[in-house]
């Protein structure tokens, strides 16, 4: 590897201070030594990372890209160090939570508020993980609770609590031709431009079946990172249609002038679960799981909004 931790600290400190002299003071090295380290790093990468402006140094595009990585790595190491120290001191008061295929968290504040009332001083840490890794992360103790819906062979190794049934719906602009239809058929998708999460990328292995009726032949499929806001903005601007869980899409209908259209004469239903490792759950995990069930469990009417 051409870059090590000391290089990342150098990049971050120079960017923050703006000069090698100030950065050298913070890093407890001489200015000439720090300058040589930066020169060697740039030599290994084959490009300069900073441009001189007046008496200061400013990251150029290459430097900005490296700086982004440096900040992410340093922040994660700092977080991991704190976690380890808190574990050793018996002060770990965080529960790690992830949600499969969703970056929409309008329901989360009431859940956290209720959890904090149950467990003062405790925190919920939202983990950003690929949708197809959540079950493995749970089993490997990298996660405490996951909200999951996709069938997976390993699901029977988890403790699952059904929360609610949700349906997959087409999300289109309110003036789209589909908005007037009672439901969509496979033929309706023929020729459509679908904008989907990248977990539906046909080149992924194993690939996830497209969330459209069997036999549908969309003309074009564009996949994007699992960022719901991004898909919604694409649809709202007329650059395609998407398919999302109703629970995820519903909060955007009014603000983005959208319509949600049923796929098939009968709803395409899937169940969301609160998933944890089997066995006795730690008190904080038990408290957050109970709060999720309280706020999200809807057996009677399909209303999935947090109360």
The enclosing domain of 196 has a CATH number of: 3.40.190.10
Q: Give me the sign of the Cα torsion angle 117, 119, 122, 125.
A: negative
Which residues, given as ranges, of the chain have pLDDT below 70?
A: 1, 83, 86-92, 101-104, 205-207, 299-307
Last residue of a domain, one of 37, 70, 89: 89
Residue 228 in domain: yes
The C-alpha atoms of residue 145 and residue 277 are separated, in whole angstroms, by 8
Residue 288 in domain: no
Provide the pLDDT for residue 300: 52
Provide the pLDDT for residue 82: 74
Beta-ladder partners of 59: 50
The C-alpha atoms of residue 101 and residue 123 are separated, in whole angstroms, by 22
The widest CA-to-CA distance across the chain, in whole angstroms, is 73
Last residue of a domain, one of 55, 89, 123: 89
Last residue of a domain, one of 57, 89, 121: 89
Residue 207 in domain: yes
Residue 102 in domain: no
Residue 297 in domain: no
Of 51, 39, 31, nearest to 7 by C-alpha is 39
Residues 200-217: tens digit of each pLDDT: 887 776 667 888 999 999
Residue 285 in domain: no
Provide the pLDDT for residue 305: 39
Provide the pLDDT for residue 174: 97
Residues 96-119: tens digit of each pLDDT: 999 886 666 778 899 999 999 999
Question: Which range marks the domain in which residue 169 is found?
Answer: 165-269
Residue 278 in domain: no
Residue 306 in domain: no
The enclosing domain of 9 has a CATH number of: 1.10.10.10
Query: What's the number of domains the chain is made of?
Result: 2
């Amino acid at each position: 590897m051409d870059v090590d931790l000391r290089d990342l600290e150098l990049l971050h400190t120079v960017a923050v201070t703006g000069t090698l002299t100030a950065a050298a003071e913070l890093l407890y090295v001489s200015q000439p030594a720090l300058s040589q380290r930066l020169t060697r790093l740039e030599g290994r990468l084959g490009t300069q990372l900073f441009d001189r402006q007046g008496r200061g140094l400013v990251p150029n595009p290459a430097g900005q890209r490296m700086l982004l990585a440096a900040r992410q790595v340093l922040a994660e190491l700092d977080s991991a160090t704190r976690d380890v120290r808190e574990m050793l001191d018996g002060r770990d008061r965080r529960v790690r939570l992830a949600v499969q295929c969703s970056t929409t968290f309008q329901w989360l504040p009431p859940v956290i508020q209720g959890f904090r009332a149950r467990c003062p001083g405790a925190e919920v840490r939202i983990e950003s993980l690929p949708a197809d890794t959540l079950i493995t992360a749970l089993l490997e103790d990298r996660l405490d609770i996951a909200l999951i819906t996709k069938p997976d062979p390993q699901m029977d190794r988890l403790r699952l609590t059904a929360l609610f049934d949700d349906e997959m719906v087409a999300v289109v602009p309110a003036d789209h031709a589909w908005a007037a239809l009672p439901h969509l058929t496979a033929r309706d998708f023929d020729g459509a431009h679908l904008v989907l999460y990248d977990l539906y990328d046909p080149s992924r292995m194993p690939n996830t079946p497209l969330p459209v009726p069997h036999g549908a032949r969309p003309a074009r499929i564009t996949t994007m990172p699992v960022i719901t806001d991004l898909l919604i903005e694409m649809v709202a601007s007329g650059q395609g249609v998407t398919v999302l869980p109703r629970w995820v899409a519903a909060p955007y209908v009014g603000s983005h002038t959208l319509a949600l259209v049923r796929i098939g004469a009968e709803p395409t239903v899937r169940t969301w679960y609160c998933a944890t490792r089997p066995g006795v759950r730690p008190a904080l995990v038990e408290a957050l799981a109970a709060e999720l069930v309280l706020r999200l469990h809807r057996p009677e009417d399909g209303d999935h909004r947090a109360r």
